[in-house]
Structure 1
Amino acid sequence: MRANLVLLPGDGIGPEIVAEAEKVLRHIASEHGHDFEFTTGEIGGCAIDAYGDPLPDKTLDPCRNADGILLGAVGGPKWDDPNAKTRPEVGLLKIRKELGLFANLRPIKPYSALIDASPLKRSIIEGVDILFVRELTGGIYFGASRTEQIDGEEAATNEMTYRVSEVERVVRVAARAAQTRRQHLTSVDKANVLEVSRLWRRTAKSVVDKEFSELNYDVVLVDAMAMHLISRPRDFDVVVTGNLFGDILTDEGSMLPGSLGLLPSASLGEDGPGLYEPIHGSAPDIAGKGIANPLATILAAAMMLRHSLGLQTEADQIDAAVEKVLNDGHRTKDIAAGGSAINTTQMGEEVLKAL
């Protein structure tokens, strides 16, 4: 296969972890006879420094024509001034919007070798396998916002809006995923309070009833879901929800395996390339120290092979290599639990050896 892949290392530890994932992709290409062409671009803080824009056209244009995009991380204290003209995160929101990446897939499946690294009991964590599908380009993050004076004091407003078509398409993505898994789909909302959630609930049920009636479908309020994630996470398979609730719940869920450094994500649209990234941030406190965990980014590369290129066998090989590395006892500092740790490059090398 020939494929054009865009690498967006970004800020903080992004360049270090993307470099290891690129090595894995090049190895896969070599072993399987694929031709991967790599283009590197700037996004986030580094793009602001270079171009005054967190997502310049010089970066966006190659992304539009790519077969897959691998992102490191954006942001850091250097660009945290609330009065700044723009912020690194604006680049992330913009690329999602420009490429129509409306569905964010976040798998949460603890590794058996790291069960005891979780803050939750082994009896709760064992057997957990959840796929969150978060709507990514609508809701309160993209609604109108304003600040104004009300009765002599400053007030701020953000509007949460969803159209029926936006709910339908993301529910379909989640339902199709549930068809390939355990046939169980859960929709999360706040319909007891929010009008937006009442529209979400009606629309989601309509899609499932008409198109996916074979699924075991249920609805959970977001506050209850937050509790269930830490008390009975095994009860869930595919979970679909809106942008704000998905943001919060997936970050909570990410702690089930015990480290943010092990979880990848995919952002997909109806057409065009997908965007793949680890769910952790730019970790500026450890940037440049060579101790970041590259495994989530390597797993994100596997998701890119699977979802954007249709290379299921190659993706499975990467997943198996990561699991072997962990089973063999190799650890970066974030998952070493006080024991000996290897550095970022060494962890990448262990994955290559396992492959």
Structure 2
Amino acid sequence: MAAIATMREEGMAAEGTATAVRTLLVLPGDGIGPEVTAAALGVLEAALRGVPGRLEVRERAIGGRSLDETGSSLTEETLADAVATGTVLLGAVGGPRWDNAADRPEAGLLRLRQGMGVYANLRPFRILPGLEEASPLRPERARDINGVIVRELTGGLYFGQPRGRSVTPEGEPEAVDTLRYRRSEIERLAAVGFSLAQQSGQPLTSVDKANVLESGRLWRETVTAMATRWPGVTVEHRYVDAAAMELVLRPQRYRVVITENVFGDILSDLTGGVVGSLGVLPSASLSGWGRGHRGLYEPIHGSAPDIAGQDKADPIGAILSTALLCRYSWELPEVAARIEAAVDRVLAEGLRTADLPGGSRVVGCREFGRRVEDALA
């Protein structure tokens, strides 16, 4: 599928200066993906009004939609466009109609991450104003929850070799997965975590299983050695089982957390349970820290095909993903903060999508997005 390109003027550059062009590739995907990305794009455009430069938006298919149109969940053309653009907003992929496909929609997302070289997955977690009752925690434990899981995304147990299934000489099925990390993989992920902690002035918690796993011991040794390069960052180490318990009992102590792939996968979903809804959580997957690195931004919820096309989707995770995009890819922290404040303001006014508790009025995905746009005016 050819890309659909549109141009938006964000503001006027000073006379005699070049106009900055910010290029964004949008991959709406499947299910509710097109709805939440449309709402998020409207908010992003509203937030960029008055910011010098021009926004160029292109759209391509991924996942099931791409399978239907091209026979591939991610075409080479789409991957090349994502790599060249370097900044991607994704909705969601997958659905039961493609469960038996040889090239599943989720495989396209994995190839996208690998092709873009994004290895650091940032998943912020905080309880948004007015949504305290969504958390299963008691009110006194739900206050001041505001942290981020920085998960290594391209190594570890999910990618280690050898892996596979076989049958023993005795005829018993067995399976093998390999947990493998190189020091350089740990260093580059930890550098993102240290940089984030230094920028935010928050402590860094490194989560491993160094008391049992050799990879955990290498992880802890590497992070400990790196701490000397960030003398202003307070570092502590936690075993993953203790961290899981404390994220429920005392989530406030966790601000910036770095961990390996499997542990990060589990802990980030646990934080979704702590805040009460996956629908409000954004994510950023980065190929490094600072200007010039690639970024893939997406809400962490699924494609929810049961409500697709009904204007019932929660766009908050996608909207907040554009805030991360502004902060980490375009280095516009003020714009990011305005988007986050606008979402908080709409929630404080009592508006909710159907998945969220409390509030005074339930609205659809489109109206919620428009109200956030209005809050940015």
The answer, yes or no, to whether TM exceeds 0.5 is: yes
> Is residue 219 of structure 2 the alignment partner of residue 219 of structure 1?
no
Instruction: Find out whether 1:60 has 2:41 as its counterpart.
Output: no
Q: In 2, Cα distance between the equivalents of 1:227 and 1:236?
A: 12
CA distance in 1, matches of 2:360, 2:154: 41
1:158 aligns with 2:158: no
Of the three residues 176, 181, 190, the one matched with 1:171 is 190
| Counterpart in the other structure of 2:333 | 312
Partner of 2:322: 301
SS at match of 1:285: helix
- Deviations along 1:8-55, whole A, 9 cap, x unmatched? 111111000001111122223333243111111111122222222221
Question: What SS does the aligned partner of 2:188 have?
Answer: helix
Tell me the TM-score normalised to structure 2 length.
0.90
In the other structure, the counterpart of 1:262 is 280
- Of the three residues 106, 126, 136, the one matched with 1:119 is 136
* Structure 1 residue 72 corresponds to structure 2 residue 116: no
Q: Normalising by structure 1, what TM-score?
A: 0.95
Query: Which residue identity lines up with residue 294 of structure 1 in the other structure?
Result: P
Following the alignment from structure 2 to structure 1, what is the Cα–Cα distance between the partners of residues 260 and 127?
24
Q: Give the one of 250, 256, 262 matched to 1:244.
A: 262
What residue is the counterpart of 2:202 in the other structure? 183
1:147 aligns with 2:165: yes
User: What SS class does the counterpart of residue 220 from structure 1 fall into?
Assistant: strand
Distance 2:331 2:202 in 1: 22
What is the deviation of 1:90?
1.3
Which whole-Å CA distance do the structure 2 matches of 1:232 and 1:75 have between them?
A: 35
Q: Indicate the percent of aligned positions where both proteins have the same amino acid.
A: 45
Structure 2 CA distance, aligned partners of 1:191 and 1:53?
Answer: 41
* Aligned residue in 2 for 1:135: 152
* Correspondence for 2:43 among 19, 24, 46: 24
Please state how far the C-alpha of 1:235 moved relative to its aligned partner.
1.1
Once the two structures are superposed, the pairs formed by residues 31-110 of structure 1 within 5 Å of their partners are: 31-81=50-100, 84-110=101-127
Counting matched residue pairs gives 352
Q: Distance in 2 between matches of 1:294 and 1:20?
A: 6
Give, in whole Å, the separation in 2 of the partners of 1:193 and 1:49. Answer: 46
Query: Would you say the 8 A contact 2:47–2:338 is kept in 1?
Result: no
After superposition, the C-alpha distances for 1:68-120 in whole angstroms (9 at most, x for unaligned) are 11010111111223xx4222111111111111101011111111311122111
Runs of 4+ in 1 over 3 A off after TM superposition: 336-340
For structure 2, which runs of at least 5 residues remain unmatched after alignment?
1-19
Alignment check: 8 A CA contact 2:47 2:373 kept: no
* Closer/same/farther in 2, CA of residues 304 and 30 from structure 1, 3 Å limit: same
Given the alignment of the two structures, is residue 278 of structure 1 paired with residue 299 of structure 2, yes or no? yes
Give the 3-state SS of the residue equivalent to 1:112 in structure 2: coil
> Which whole-Å CA distance do the structure 2 matches of 1:85 and 1:140 have between them?
23
RMSD: 1.5
Query: 1-side partners of 2:75 and 2:110: how far apart?
Result: 13
Please tell me whether the aligned partners of residues 351 and 359 of structure 2 are also in contact (alpha carbons under 8 angstroms): no
Per mean C-alpha deviation after superposition, the further-off stretch among 257-266 and 163-172 is: 257-266
User: Who is 1:290 aligned against?
Assistant: 311
Asked if structure 2 preserves the Cα contact closer than 8 Å seen for 1:43 and 1:55, the reply is: yes
1:23 and 1:74 map into 2 onto residues whose CA distance is 21
Measure the CA separation in 1 of the matches of 2:249 and 2:48: 42
Please, which moves more after superposition, 23-32 or 97-106?
23-32
